Structure formats: C-alpha cells, structure tokens
Amino acid sequence: MYTCLVIKLNLSLSIPFLLLLLLKACTYVGCNPTIGDVVVDRYSIPILCPREVKSGDYVRYHYNVTFQDGKTFDSSYERGAASVGQTGQGRLIAGIDKGILGMCVNEKRKVTVPPHLAYGSLGAGDVVPPDSTLVFDLMLLDMWNKADLVVTETVSSPRDCKRSVKRTDFVRYHFNGTLLDGTPFDSSYNKGQTHDSLVGEGWLIKGMDEGILGMCVGETRNIIIPPFLAYGEKGSGKEIPSQATLVFNVLLADLHNPKDDITVENQVVPEACARKSVAGDYMRYHYNGTFLNGVTFDTSYQRNNTYNTYIGMGYVISGMDKGLQGVCIGERRRVTLPPHMAYGEQGAGDIPGSAVLVFDIHVIDFHNPKDSVEVHVTHKPEVCNLTSDVDDLIHYHYNCSLLDGTRLFSSSDYDNLQDTVLGADKVIDGLDEGLRGMCVGERRTVIIPPHLGHGEKGATGVPGSAVLHFELELMDLQKGVPEGYLFVWVEDAPLELFQAMDINQNGEVPIEEFGEFIMLQVAEGKGRMKPGVDPEEIIADMFRNQDRNKDGVIVAEELKLKVEEDKERMHEEL
C-alpha cells in the first residue's frame, strides 16, 4: 500500500485557494508508473495537488541517491541546498528527467534509474561505477514555468469598496509569506506592524507590485509569485532560497495616494445655518477617529468632553484644520485625511506611520473672538414707553441652553423670578448686555460667545468655551439711579429745597420729616430711590450724609445736593 503525506496547511489560505494550489487526489502505489525503464514509487503524495511537473517546467527538489545496495553517494540535504533544474531540456540525467514528471509539490517518490538512463557504461569518476543502477529518493519543493503569471485569489472582500489599489498608490498591508511547500519565511504579524510601500515604483518585488493591484481596504487576497517575479536566482537571506515561488496571504489595511486631498462625505447639515465656520474661529466638536479598516484609535465621546480648538491656524493637523472649515453648527460630517495631512510617516502614539485617518465629526458650536452678543427680538409689546438700561432693577424669565439644544438652566426651576441690577456685575457680561433696551413683556433670544459668558474654564454645569443660548422675557422694570446715588430727581429739584423739606417751617428737619418729604417726591414721580434696597435704609443713609454735625437734625447750612458735593470735591482735587 502507498501512504499519502498530509502536508501542513497554511491556515491563512482559503479552502478554494488550497484547492487551486494543491488539489489532487492520492493515487495508489499499485498504479505507480514505469516510464520507459524508469521505475517510480510514489510513496507519499499530498492530498491536494493543483499542478504536476510537465516537460519544460523548472523544479526545485531535495534528493538522496543510493546504489541498489542502499549505499548513499550523494545528497542535497547534506549539502544544505536543494537542486534546481529544468525538465525536458537535457539538463538533468535522463532517468530523473523522466522520473520527476507528474510530481506534486511536497510529494515524495523513489525513482529507480537503470544505467543507460543514468551514467551508463562510463560511470562518473570514482563516485559512480560503470553500469550502476541508481535509486533517487526525491521530494519536490517547488515548480514553475517561464510562462507562469502571478496568480491571485480573493479570500474575502469588504461590502463597500470605494477605491482600489492603483500604481503610484501607497499601501499598508499585513501578510504571511510561505514558500510553495508551505514553509513560512516572513510575517508582518510577527513583527507587529504593517508592510508599507509605494506600488509600481520598484519598492516591491515585481510580482507583489502586480498582485496587489485592484485590492480594496479590508480585502484579503492570496498571491502566488513565480521566482522570476520574486527574488530569482539570488533568493533573499537565509529564508528565501534561490528560485523560490512565493505564496503571500495579504490583508490590505490602508491605501492612499501622495496626491490625495481630504475627502468630506456623509454630511448632515441642519436646515438653519446662518453662519459657516472660517479660519480663526474657535470650535467645540465631538469626534470618532478610525483607520480605514474601521478600527477606532480615539474618540472624544469616551472622554465625555468635546475637543476645543482654533481652526485654520495650525493648532490641529492640517487635514482637520481644512475639514473643519465651512461647517455649520450642529453639522455632522466624515472627513478622511491622507497621511501627509495627518501624522505623516512618523505616526503618533497608537497611530502608525503613513496611516489614513477617518474622523466622524459632530460640530457642537463655534465662535470668533471678535463676536459680539447676538440679540433677536421674538415679541415686542405694542406700547413700550420704558426700556431697561444700566442701573435698572429688572425681573425676568430665562431658559439657558447650549447651541446643540442641551438645557442648562431655567428660571422656572426656582420659585421666584430672576432679578438683577443692570451694569452691577451681577450676571455674565453678555447676559447683562442682552437684557438692556427691553420693554416689559418683551421676549428675545440672545446668543452669547464664551468671552462674554463663562470663558474657557466654564462654570458649574457649563462646559469651557461654550456659546450660550438664552430665551428671555422681561417681567418687571424699576428704573435705577447712577452708581454712588441713593436718590435722584426725575424733575428739577425745588429752588428752595430746604424750605420745601422743612414742612413745619421751624428751621430744622428731623429724620421723620426728611423721610416724609423723600417718600412724597417718589410718590409724585418727581424723584426715584435706588431700586432693590429697603426705602427706610436709603432714607437713613441719606439723612446721615446730610446731618453733618450728627445732632439728629438737618439745618439749611448742612443741606447740599450730591451734585454740589461732587463739584466741590472735584474743585478741591484740582
């Protein structure tokens, strides 16, 4: 009985490719041929055999040669190098030329060669006596023909392939490399990095230059390269012998061309887009960063923080600088960056050199450092005789959100209306500005850039550098007084102020009489007290200021208007 040699299969090769490479059913030794006078014993045949040696093929094989008594006189194993020759061209001894025909790679056979098909009646020096029958124990390692082409077979391919490899492209790929007999010689996986190269520029062996053409990112392909399109007679190092056919299992990881620009796709643009970003804007955006094969290398969502930067000013990689211009607030887009517009040949951190990067971006907001407060009136009462201004006390409703709609704060969360004195530094500058010039009952939206809001650091519940969106409604307005004043005259003060204040005309004004006079002016609309402060406290403070000798009453010589006091003070300072 014969025995079949089950070769160790390269598991990276697909079954169809193995069938292509090794498909051949075993045959029984009982069917061993006698070729002329040559006796062939096929004692170990691979299960699969896609190709058999034909006349004119080149072969690479190991052998042991013995006489019929079993004595060895030559061995390629002992020399450490397989024998290479072409069949059917008289370059091998006639018996081997016949006996090697029909062999499969990894097949072992014994070929018994009679003298007239070996070294005949002359023999070979002192090594082979005349009329010697020789027994060759052969193992076929490789075969090829000068007419051979590069053979490719796609093992798997991505569903979506928008681009395939062309000459002058730059590719990054993983590979397992074996000889035709399955012996591994190299693997990018073992090195932990892709093989990176230009295509069609002589950086790769000719067969790989040809075999990788047309591949898509994510595609796995098997490539068989004959020796004359690989490393030829010289081989390569100790791993690839002379005249070796090479088998590559290739996974394309990345692809670009040095002339590529960024590409923008999958855009989702909001219906309302009043403004698009330009160089010099400051932007907050979320992103997912992946390689072309879909593997994620970074994401802002995982950190739960936007990425914040100026655009068009070199603060980010050039491709992102370009891809973030011309976007709307709320827009989503995918930006693909070639390596020369990303991290180049050096890479960065977990990003390998020459990697194409894909960013899925969601623009949260952007602003320009020169931006002012934007005010949009949504409702204004028909009658509006009084508007809010600096020093006024106002009460208002508000809703505050980010530009993406994220709710931050609302006056409805509290029992009372929000109140503030305008210009008193009680609220952020942009809100203070946005509340001015309003009528009671007016509603407006106000957009506040961060430098007029909570700045780069943000505040509790407010992200840094966030643009704020306020919905405002003015509910009440009390006109104020200038800073440093407790009471101002709305109309001209009486010419004889002390006499008007001295109600009982006794020449003295106690605090009760002083307070009665002030409250009467306010009631008649002739004067106005500082809003938001207890009137009794205001009257007490005003009285103390006028009662200069602190005797509990004001006399005519003590009474002076604050305007007069300010003029005297300025005169003294000059």
Q: What is the pLDDT of residue 274?
A: 87
Task: Flag whether pLDDT at 565 surpasses 80.
Answer: no
3-state secondary structure of 246: strand
Distance, in Å, from the CA atom of 488 to the CA atom of 501, rounded to the nearest integer, reads: 15
The overall average pLDDT reported for the chain is 90
Give residue 306's pLDDT: 95
Q: Poorest-confidence range of 238-247, 424-433, 521-530? A: 521-530
Asked if residue 26 has pLDDT above 80, the reply is no
Neighbours of 567 (CB within 10 A): 12
Give the tens place of pLDDT for each residue, 406-419: 999 999 999 889 99
Between 365 and 32, the higher pLDDT residue: 365
pLDDT(24) > 70: no
Q: Is the pLDDT of residue 1 over 50?
A: no
Tell me phi and psi for residue 407, to 5 degrees.
Answer: -75, 135
How many helices (H) does the chain have, and how many strands (E)?
12, 29
3 state SS of 370: coil
pLDDT band with cut points at 50, 70 and 90 for residue 570: low
Confidence at residue 563, expressed as pLDDT on a 0 to 100 scale: 55
Share of the chain above pLDDT 70, in %: 91
pLDDT tens for each residue of 508-548? 999 999 999 999 998 888 888 888 889 999 999 999 988 88
Higher-confidence residue: 9 or 442?
A: 442
DSSP, residue by residue, 52-116: ---TT-EEEEEEEEEETTS-EEEEHHHHTS-EEEETTTT-S-HHHHHHTTT--TT-EEEEEE-GG
Out of 62-76, 251-265, 480-494, 551-565, which region has the weakest mean confidence (pLDDT)?
551-565
pLDDT, one tens digit per residue, over 118-167 is 999 998 988 999 999 999 999 999 999 999 999 999 999 999 898 999 99
